[in-house]
Chain A
Amino acid sequence: MSIVKKMLKDAQKTKDSHLNLNSLLDMLTLLVVFLMKSMNSTVIAAPPEDIRLPSSYVGEEPKEALMIQVSPTYITINNKKLVLLKDGKFLMEDIAKNDLYLVPAIEKELLAEAEKSKDIEKKSQELFKFKGTAFIQIDKSIEYSTIKRILYTSSVAGYGDMKLATVGSGE
């Protein structure tokens, strides 16, 4: 009789047994933390597929700023497509007639963005300062003749602090 009871008791214990999920849970929690940490900066900085960034060893973490993207076929400012390029070069119709380095469509947009930022600066009682910072993603195949026009136009509009986006391959 007592042997049967012992067997029943053992059987009941076996029925209630659990898988120990603690180690799995530890691993998954670490994975979630790691993934969340790697998300923070790349969200603002991830370039579109048609922009291949150059690589660099040195570099800082990107911060939020006005975003200029230059692919071989277009230029966007804050994701607004403004100018079309042909093989990474400007079309003559997009360049100002009296200034060979000025691109009026880009200038207009940058001036509007600068105006907005300066307005915020006034309203924030100088807690926010307009520093003319632009985060610029340029395809690595673009020639300097195109870049020079973009930098010149940015400069005319008050943007002189360029953060050149690269793919970090540093130590």
Chain B
Amino acid sequence: MGIVDDIMHSDHDIDHETQLNLNPLLDLISALIPVLLASVSYVSIAVLNAKVPVLGEAQVAIEKNVKDNKEKQVGLYVEVNGENFILMNLKQGENILTTSRVPASADSKIDKVKFVSELVRIKSENPNVFRARINPTEKVVYDNVVTIIDLMKLAPKGNEFTITDKDTGKAFVTSIMFDDVTFGNIMGEDE
């Protein structure tokens, strides 16, 4: 009787320790990880938005409208040459409101610090201006074109501008500078 009791007791103990068999799940995950590791690219790709004036019927109408309003519109025109000299003109129509020159740095690269400080200065004086046209000369390498567009879009940390919405009159704060970038010398204009 004592033996039966003991056996029953021991079976009861073993039943209590039953577990889910996780091995198939572990097998599946172990197979999935190498597949995912092989297909993941470790470089994070981002995109910068930039526009090119388009030739077309719809565009002709838009361009006409833009031309009519051109006198009222203010935009920043950024020119850069193969020696990394940057010339910035804030224009309203054909009138130049502000001019800024950023020579290349001592190592003949774009002087990013001076360029950004000039951008911040112009933006602080004209917070409602977001339009910019970039006109690189033919010798400028793509890396520098992207650097300029990149620096124009967002102000460094700690720089914010108060914008007033024309329709609602509400003021809001943003660190976006010249986000609406167009390649200016594609269709022969701004040369």
Contact = CB atoms under 8 A, between A and B. Distances in A.
Interface of A: 5, 9, 12-13, 16, 18, 21-22, 24-25, 28-29, 31-32, 35-36, 38-39, 41-43, 45-47, 53-62, 132, 135, 138-145, 147-148, 151-152, 154-156, 158-168, 170
Nearest to B9: A9
13 contacts: A16-B17, A25-B22, A28-B30, A35-B40, A56-B48, A60-B47, A62-B46, A135-B47, A144-B140, A151-B52, A163-B47, A164-B146, A167-B44
Contacts of A138: 142
**What is the interface of chain A mostly: helix, strand, loop, or mixed?**
mixed
B47 A166 contact: yes
A45 B48 CA distance: 13
B22 A39 contact: no
Interface stretch (B120-128, B160-168, B181-189): B181-189
A24 B26 contact: yes
Interface of B: 3, 6, 10, 13-14, 17, 19, 22-23, 25-26, 29-30, 32-33, 36-37, 39-41, 43-56, 59, 136-143, 145-147, 149-150, 153-154, 183, 185-187
A144 B33 contact: no
B165 to A, nearest CB: 23
Contact of A28 (B17, B29, B59): B29
Contacts, number: 179
A164 B44 contact: no
Give the most central of B23, B44, B46: most A CB within 10 Å. Answer: B46
B40 to A, nearest CB: 5
A166 B43 CA distance: 10
B54 A57 contact: no
B46 A56 contact: yes
The 7 closest A-B pairs by CB, nearest first: A59-B46, A160-B54, A168-B46, A145-B138, A35-B36, A140-B143, A45-B45
